[in-house]
Structure 1
Amino acid sequence: MQNQNIHVIGIGGTEGSEIAMYLAKQGAQNLTLHDFATTSAFEKSLRTSHYGFSADQIAAKLNFFDNFKGQINYNDTYLNNIDQADLVFVPQSWHLYEANAPLKALQGKTTFSSITKLYFDLLPCPIIGITGSNGKTTTTNLVHHLAKATLENSARKVHLTGNDRYHQQLLQQIDAVSPSDLVIIEVSNRQLQIDLGRSPNIGILTNITPNHLDEYTDFNEYVQAKLSLFKYSTPDTINLVCQEDPVTKQHLSQIPNPLPFSTKATPKPGIYLENGHAVAWLPNNNTPISIPLNNFKLIGKHNQQNLLAAIFANILLGADSALLPDAIATFKAPPKRLEHIGTRNQINYYNDISSTVPDTTILDLQALNEATNLPTTLIMGGKNKEVDYTTFEHVIPTLVDNLIIIKSPICNDLNILKTTMGNRWHEVTNLAEAVKLDQKLTTAPHNLILAPTAVYMAYFKDKIDDYNRLEELI
């Protein structure tokens, strides 16, 4: 890269900031940075996008940009001289913004890369890569948690990185990763839109359901994006797939060396749930490994599937199965994924703002009702991702007692549900109003779950802090 004109897009985001700092550390000479925030708004923008980072880490990033000797193009000069770039590093969401139209014109003419491709290009050790429409963050965290407890030792470190903003990016420490280490990467569909040139040593596909269809020509194009994680699989690659996911089963021919995981009995080798135990059959081994799951704290069948995939990945890498039960017992749900954040005045509050499509909200409500047997209030709102809400409109009246919608475009897509819910449908202007209204609607013990069931970040641009204030409001 030394003699190339390198441009980094979106330096206020977690991906762009890490790439810029890494390339500068590596001595890249012709480095130009871009962010469409104004100079005065840049610090706030960076702090907002780095909510999984410590204050010291954020301060280090701000200090780097304050002292950067090269060119930084903010708002008015954003993408200046981009047509002179030999190599452009983009964040995964770059194509969503109108300001990036000049970048789209460069596709096919200029080389595009990303932080995910850098990981797959540079990492010298085995990679576990996890993708899927739903459950990939929980599965990624489960794989990492179990691996830290059962596989990490003085000769092998276990690292976590990738899509979720709560994951610390590994790029600046990548030179310290040894061939004996293990890296676990969560990979989103957007991160797969740039060819990675390599598949993970162990791939995990949690499921494929309609999502992000506002970014694709059709569902099949989205499916192919997900499946591209496995296109460079070798005979030594192992790919774990959910036996219960119908779309995955339809496309098994595109996934080399698949091994199934399921809450039901599966073909051997594979892993399945039986009498409260995970039963794993390894390839070329006639003796199953049984792991008790009675101390697993997460609720719902979908989380059992996530756990089975994580257990199997660790066993395949040689984890001591005797250590797994204690590790499973200490795992906590990732932030904002059916996260129980407290109980006050007999109301159980759950933060599920990562649920942005109807399928995941339905699964989480079913799990919550089964686990607690209490009435539930759902708070939702945002903009449709061009997915189908027919099933959602049909089942929600039986899953929730009250539906509180923050006024937004999704209201116009749910006319049937509005009619069916009748006086159980409530519209408010913000989250604070929704929480107060719920307290007035019922005094009986119940659950309140915040699950947008739509794109909330893009729509509530000025209210993102409001969505992150649930615990404070309680």
Structure 2
Amino acid sequence: MIPVQGVQNQTIAVLGLGRSGRATAAALAAGGARVVVWDDGADIREQAAADGLHVLDLTREQNWDGISALITSPGIPHLYPAPHPVIACAYAMGVPVDNDIGLFFRSFATPEWERFDSTPRVIAVTGSNGKSTTTALIHHILKEAGRPTQIGGNIGTGVLSLEPAHDGEVVVLELSSYQTDLARALTPDVAVLTNMSPDHLDRHGGYGGYFAAKRRLFAEGGPDRAVIGVDEVEGRYLADQLGMGPGDDRVIRVSSGQKLERFGWSVFARKGFLSEYRKGRQIASIDLREVTGLPGAHNHQNACAAYAATRAIGLAPREIESAFHSFQGLPHRSQTVAEIGGVRWVNDSKATNVDAAAKALTAFKRIRWIAGGLGKEGGIADLQPYLGEVVKAYLIGHSGRDFALQIGQTAYEVVETMDQAVARAAAEAQPGETVLLAPAAASFDQYPNFEKRGEHFTALVQALQP
């Protein structure tokens, strides 16, 4: 746990008692604060009281006397579509509102660091897609290189549940727009933007508000190095805003598909090869085509971002390349779960929409595609341009028959269940082919979440092993 600094003898309110809210309350108490808590759920409040927390009704203005700050969980709206009533009350009372990310950045450094040989550092990753894979890959590279490291934030451990920093440690954080939007302190050493595409627009009042939330990590934080994906105009704008000219190597531009040779520092992937350029000269190259844990152009973009972030803190290209080859990928995200009789089996259960499924379908050749579930508005007709490598589709779940009408001339079979899909694909797949679970649909017709769907697929595949 990281005790919160600067709160001793203050009364601090915590709104929301999920994982991050509970951890925040504990870290505040460890820092000497008097903590009061509130949650909209009556059962959650009862459990909190039973656990010894001081539950205080923060919807009543008379209960705000003496409260110095409100710390809210990231899932609770603070502006759009409307502030939560408790947050609106804090605004009316002039009480500062923050979140656990803000508390982490103001509490991470301690006087103990003066005795360290190497100052601990923070790499923070945000973006629309790929941030979990990029964060996990950076953490993996650091571990493989023998660097002390922790991972947390929107992935794994909550930030205040991390251990206090060790000498020379690098903490790698995944940060969502919900987390960056409100944090009053954002001071990473290296900040990464993977890419931008519309998401969470109701929460941010539109695409401009969503981008503004991401931009805060760079504009408010002033990182020593900024790694910026420039395949969208927002990334190009941000890189231009942060740099003092094309030769400014404090900004590392990253791309999957563009050749970036004119800048002070850039990392890009084209035709399966990653290239690093410094001041117009190529200084490193990595063949990504045989890196099984990072298939496809979208993962090559993640590899470029992770490479740039770890180069920015001094790792050598050979160290990074070696770690790429031992990275197994995150569960349910283009994860190779087996190779049986020359057939590759890939679990991309996280591909719950058309955009994610399209990325998966362009990452492999000769595909037997398992798709379906609870389809989303608009169906999958937009996937037709990406089906050229699909040998046959095996369609499951509530929307299986609807999907069959939307995939053009692609061969298909409606098989209803995952068990049937895996069995049929196993019977028909030929060496050199890939059986890909990329559902392009939610899981809720047959599974509680995409993780359970992916776990079922993986178990069925592993049962095929001789």
Q: What is the TM-score with the length of structure 2 in the denominator?
A: 0.75
* Change over 3 Å in CA distance of 1:438–1:416 after alignment to 2: closer
* Change over 3 Å in CA distance of 1:72–1:378 after alignment to 2: same
Of the candidates 172, 181, 185, which is equivalent to residue 161 of structure 2?
A: 172
Paired position in structure 1 for 2:140: 145
- Mapped contact 2:185–2:221 kept (Cα < 8 A): no
Paired position in structure 1 for 2:420: 436
SS in 1 for 2:77: helix
Of the candidates 159, 169, 172, which is equivalent to residue 150 of structure 2?
A: 159
Of the candidates 107, 123, 126, which is equivalent to residue 121 of structure 2?
A: 126
Partners of 1:404 and 1:287 in 2: CA distance: 46
* Change over 3 Å in CA distance of 1:273–1:473 after alignment to 2: closer
Pairwise CA distance, 1:356: 4.0
- Mapped contact 1:380–1:450 kept (Cα < 8 A): no
Bigger CA drift: 300-309 or 268-277? 268-277
* Change over 3 Å in CA distance of 1:2–1:271 after alignment to 2: same
Bigger CA drift: 417-426 or 258-267? 417-426
Pairwise CA distance, 1:316: 2.0
SS in 2 for 1:95: coil
Paired position in structure 2 for 1:249: 236
Pairwise CA distance, 1:231: 1.0
Pairwise CA distance, 1:182: 1.9
- Mapped contact 1:139–1:307 kept (Cα < 8 A): yes
Paired position in structure 1 for 2:313: 317
- Matched ranges for 1:26-105 at <5 A: 26-34=31-39, 36=41, 38=43, 68-72=51-55, 84=64, 86-95=68-77, 101-105=84-88
Amino acid at match of 2:72: V
Partners of 1:448 and 1:149 in 2: CA distance: 30
Pairwise CA distance, 1:128: 1.3
Of the candidates 27, 40, 54, which is equivalent to residue 22 of structure 1?
A: 27
- Are 2:246 and 1:262 aligned? no
- Mapped contact 2:153–2:175 kept (Cα < 8 A): yes
- Matched ranges for 1:66-465 at <5 A: 68-72=51-55, 84=64, 86-95=68-77, 101-106=84-89, 108-109=91-92, 110-124=95-109, 125-150=120-145, 152=147, 157-164=148-155, 167-174=156-163, 176-178=164-166, 180-234=168-222, 237-256=224-243, 257-263=250-256, 264-266=258-260, 267-268=262-263, 269-273=265-269, 278-282=274-278, 288-291=283-286, 293=288, 295-297=290-292, 298-342=294-338, 349-368=345-364, 370=365, 373-381=366-374, 392-395=382-385, 398=388, 400=390, 401-402=392-393, 404=395, 406-407=397-398, 418=406, 420=408, 424=412, 433-436=417-420, 439=423, 443-445=427-429, 447-451=434-438, 453=440
- Mapped contact 1:199–1:231 kept (Cα < 8 A): no
Deviations 1:42-97 (A, max 9, x none): 7xxxxxxxxxxxxxxxxxxxxxx687323358xxx896789625433222222399
Pairwise CA distance, 1:276: 6.1
- Mapped contact 1:379–1:434 kept (Cα < 8 A): no
Partners of 1:358 and 1:331 in 2: CA distance: 26
Deviations 1:295-331 (A, max 9, x none): 5222101111211221122122111333233222211
Pairwise CA distance, 1:341: 3.0
Pairwise CA distance, 1:130: 1.0
Partners of 1:405 and 1:83 in 2: CA distance: 53
RMSD of aligned residue pairs (Cα, Å): 4.2
- Mapped contact 1:380–1:406 kept (Cα < 8 A): yes
* Change over 3 Å in CA distance of 1:9–1:121 after alignment to 2: same
* Change over 3 Å in CA distance of 1:40–1:4 after alignment to 2: closer
Gaps of at least 5 residues in structure 2 are 1-6, 110-119, 244-249, 462-466
Amino acid at match of 1:338: S
Partners of 1:344 and 1:194 in 2: CA distance: 48
Bigger CA drift: 86-95 or 248-257? 248-257
Amino acid at match of 2:158: Q
Paired position in structure 1 for 2:464: none
SS in 2 for 1:108: helix
Partners of 2:149 and 2:41 in 1: CA distance: 35
- Mapped contact 2:370–2:394 kept (Cα < 8 A): yes
SS in 1 for 2:303: helix
- Mapped contact 1:418–1:425 kept (Cα < 8 A): no
SS in 2 for 1:270: strand
Q: Percent identity?
A: 22
SS in 2 for 1:355: coil
- Mapped contact 1:9–1:34 kept (Cα < 8 A): yes
Partners of 1:361 and 1:233 in 2: CA distance: 34
Partners of 1:141 and 1:82 in 2: CA distance: 45
- Mapped contact 1:34–1:79 kept (Cα < 8 A): no
- Mapped contact 2:190–2:312 kept (Cα < 8 A): no
Pairwise CA distance, 1:122: 2.1
Q: What is the TM-score with the length of structure 1 in the denominator?
A: 0.74
Amino acid at match of 2:348: D
Bigger CA drift: 392-401 or 373-382? 392-401
Pairwise CA distance, 1:146: 1.3
Partners of 1:322 and 1:252 in 2: CA distance: 27
- Mapped contact 1:36–1:78 kept (Cα < 8 A): no
Gaps of at least 5 residues in structure 1 are 43-64
- Mapped contact 1:376–1:399 kept (Cα < 8 A): no
